[in-house]
Structure 1
């Protein structure tokens, strides 16, 4: 097999900040998991407002309104605090406090290759994906995230891409079906 000439090789070095940014993007932007806590808060506060309109007319209306407000606002805060705490704990388990090489991604005409981190001549191929079989790609202001399946993505931080985000996104736009390409403002 002849060596490919059109290859963009991206050695990815991960740290806690990049991991946290990706996790927030994945859960809050891509999966939109902020919607349910917000809906819960809006409904509970709406019920609390109804209770507050009954103050002086119904016994305990003020107390019930206060409880509904505290629960309606408090539980979403606990939800998000727990999420970000778990992301920090996972980053510690992955030993990302100090930046470390995690993998090398090569974008080429034939697809996306993922190689183990390390010296280029000693790298072992982890996986190869053809462009059509990928789940999707998302471009943000600071990275390109290539999802090989619903719950598995490879992060390409802008600062680590030779040629910047535009170079990686050019491969995505040319090779991946348009319906799988997403740009986040």
Structure 2
């Protein structure tokens, strides 16, 4: 199945997804890598308000390359980064904030239960930084630039951002684990 969604997402938008479905997203998404996740959790723990709204949001595991022209940020490249690095922080992030979709590459480990009935993981093919940049129409603002360009939280306005493949759905089905399991079986059958 193929879906076209606009942010902010609603839970009913993602509950119908199955692994392998194709998704395109329009609206606002936020980049966040390791340092941004840590700061979100730190501020949340302190009871401080975040400078952006994560209600029904999409977080893109990405450290974009940006360029400033005439006081306006422009995307040079914005490919996905490896999501596994954020796996440990993701359950708490999802417990505290209504993030409904995560975008990245390579899958995530030990998060399918945390995503159950609440969030999906959408895989974007690595090496597609230029394609991703084409679908980013505006960069309204940046938060926490003190973390450095790749670690800051960039607010991106996207149009038909994708194709994204549902890698982990809300029913705990994990496409990455399933492929790994099948590949392991094929290798063991080959007696290599």
User: What is the TM-score normalised by the length of structure 2?
Assistant: 0.22
Higher helix share: 1
Q: Relative contact order, CA 8 A, sep 6+: which one is greater? A: 2
Of structures 1 and 2, the larger Rg is shown by: 1
